[in-house]
Amino acid sequence: MHWRALEENEVNASLNVLVVEDESLVAMYIEDILDELGHNAVAVVGRMESALVQAEHADIDIAILDINLHGARTFPIAEKLAARGVPFVFATGYGAAGLEEAWADRPVLQKPFQLEEMRAAIATALR
């Protein structure tokens, strides 16, 4: 599905998700949650270069971005997604305090998070 405004009943549709996370256990946890929610983690990347390529070219509906990727901020990835109109959720152990002001309106998942928090963050990002 290409990004467009979703109807209320489509928020629960199966989504293709880009996961940007450098901790393998956290990435697997996110994949498990997405699977439980009926979504597909079509790409799971932990390196900035790969994430930038995926953000620009992957056929995705939404992305989950760890803010800190091996010590580098993922805001350039967010910029590529925003330019394509792809919604995304930031995931971080720092909460909203870790965001730059330009991204303060984006949903943030505070690590550690649970399934329902992921569901709510995805729904918020899609609206």
Can you read off the two tokens belonging to residue 57? Answer: 């070219």
Ordered structural domains, the chain, with CATH: 14-38+49-126 (3.40.50.2300)
Can you read off the two tokens belonging to residue 77? Answer: 């990835």
pLDDT, tens only, 46-95? 999 999 999 999 999 999 999 999 999 999 999 999 999 999 999 998 76
Q: In what order do the strands lie in the sheet with 62-66?
A: 40-45, 16-20, 62-66, 88-92, 108-110
pLDDT, tens only, 106-127? 999 999 999 999 999 999 999 8
Can you read off the two tokens belonging to residue 120? Answer: 């709510």
